[in-house]
Amino acid sequence: MSLWYSGLGVSRGIAIGRVQKLSGGDLDIPEYSLAANEIEHEITRFYGAQRRAAEQLREVRAQIPANTPQDIAAFIDTHLLMIDDRSITESTVTHIRNGGVNAEAALRRTGDALAAVFEQMDDPYLRTRRDDVEHVVARIMRVLLKNDRHVSAHADRDGVPAVIVADDITPADIILLAQQSTAAFVTEYGGPLSHTAILARSLGIPAVVGVNNARRWLREGEHIIVDGQAGHLVAAPDERALRFYRRRQERDERYRRMLIRHKDDPAISRDGVKVRLLANIELSEDSKEAKRVGAEGVGLYRTEFLFMNRKTLPDENEQFEAYSSVVSAVNGPITIRTLDLGADKQVDSANRPGPKPSNPALGLRAIRLCLKDLDLFRTQIRALLRASALGQVQIMLPMISSTAEFRQARRLIEDERVQLHREGVAMGARVPVGAMIEVPAAALAAPMLARHAQFFSIGTNDLIQYTLAIDRGDDEINYLYDPLHPAVLRLIRMTIEAGDQAGIPVAMCGEMAGDPQYARLLLGLGLTEFSMHPSSVLEVKRIILDADIAALRLAVDHALNTTDIHELQDRLHQIGIG
């Protein structure tokens, strides 16, 4: 009898294979006290394990095929940097020396403390970087425990590939497994921004995460179907299920071939409305994928990566080089978001004295931090303005909540522009400055903000979180995170209308923009600029090509004017939403 399991589909595609379980997440970590004369030996043992763990990562990196996107190798580079990071090394040695405990126990204390710091971060993406800490700590730990053999996947005697089932998978293991006979990944933990999700999408391998007790309920070697779009698993499938999903595989392949044919078509709806499709990127290498799918530019480039996992702030020249490489690689406009980190950032030199904020999501973060630390902000602005000489740069200010904040930031930007001009530095003739609309206050004040901003970009992840007072990273309450909540939809519509009335562009760069199920709704709300992960561009374009936007606007207006929540939901379903 076939059994169905559900999780979160994070990398599309259908895979049919057999279960191969990976163990390793549940390490039995001993803890014991050391005699005084054993301390130095234990510290030496820890350093030895640290060096061996780094060697293993370098071995993995050397095995990456030359045609693999460079951002995949970047995951290994990040872990190599973290292995030597003082936050791991010094803390562990201190626990051994001062606490008198063995290396494994000391390393576990270090890992727990660092993971707790990331867990408190308000940005969902940065919070998932806790995985980096856990993976690096686990790799050193396995060496200490002499449990550090490489993983491998293998097809059975009939050539059926493996579906890897694990609690979590490190980037290094994913890269190794992807080169072997791996049909799909299934994990018990993780979300859409986890390493498994990002790497599986980049490698084009179906993946489902968050399948509770997957290793417990699935049997080693049994056949299984993985639906990476719906987030379903079918264990012990019967012939009927196998026929159905094989047809789905064939249909998906035809669909992908059809989508790519529209790569160079303009995104114009059936009733003649031009929509601009942009890509969200994190590394300069991501621009290649954006070009491959025909994105017209970049609607969101995050700059936080430059500031993470290091002890000193990047200076102006280092930032200029980084931004220049991205601007030069992008065809069309590129919207660069200024630093969006909170008080719990991982840059020692920028840590502020005093107690840690009790609620970082509402504290000194994003533009608030930049307006408090003017040297930090001015340095970044100078680098951005210099990079604008190489392309169509727009500067976006995150977490704006008032016109006063925005005007102060714009004055600082103008000051730096004037100063650079005096210094004879080349810059773009026009560098628009816009506001990221991601808190309800900004959406409600959008008509006033629009008098000062040159564009808006709606960040739906935070806008939904703050509007509904929901931390979507909290498993206890994330079921309340609802992009279709009437309050959220009205705030989005208010922002778009305010931009239209002021004659400034309004884009959306949050996850909602890249989810095909919301595309018709957003078109009906009046959105004409979408920015998303490159993998979603072609599918959203297909929806736009088939859409009658005038009819959608009438239908969405009709739906939002109802005062009954059930009637609203029915009307959205009739439009094909949700």
| Residues assigned a catalytic role | 195, 509
Distance CA 413, CA 386 (A): 12
Instruction: Specify burial of residue 139 (Cβ count, 10 A radius: 0-12, 13-18, 19+).
Output: buried
Strands of 438-517, DSSP E: 456-458, 506-508
Spatial contact of 356 and 365, defined as CB atoms under 8 Å apart? no
Residue appearing with tokens 């954006």: 290
- The answer for 26, left when phi > 0, alpha when psi is -120 to 50, beta otherwise, is beta
Distance CA 129, CA 127 (A): 5
Residue type at 63 in one-letter notation: Q
Residue 367 has φ and ψ, to the nearest 5°, of -65, -30
Count other C-beta atoms under 10 Å from residue 236's C-beta.
15
- How many angstroms separate the Cα of 549 from the Cα of each of 106, 272, 282, 492? 60, 9, 31, 17
Crossing angle for the helix pair 403-422 and 374-387, to the nearest 10 degrees: 60
- The answer for 254, left when phi > 0, alpha when psi is -120 to 50, beta otherwise, is alpha
Q: Where are the alpha helices (DSSP H) in 503-564?
A: 516-524, 534-546, 549-560
Spatial contact of 435 and 413, defined as CB atoms under 8 Å apart? no
For the chain, how many residues are written? 578
Question: What tokens does 383 get?
Answer: 């680098």
Residue type at 537 in one-letter notation: V
Distance CA 122, CA 462 (A): 9
Distance CA 19, CA 508 (A): 39
Distance CA 155, CA 182 (A): 8
Distance CA 420, CA 460 (A): 34
At a CB cut-off of 8 Å and minimum separation 6, what does 47 contact? none
Question: What tokens does 203 get?
Answer: 């490698």
Strands of 143-189, DSSP E: 162-166, 182-187
Spatial contact of 483 and 518, defined as CB atoms under 8 Å apart? yes
Residue type at 128 in one-letter notation: T
Spatial contact of 416 and 378, defined as CB atoms under 8 Å apart? yes
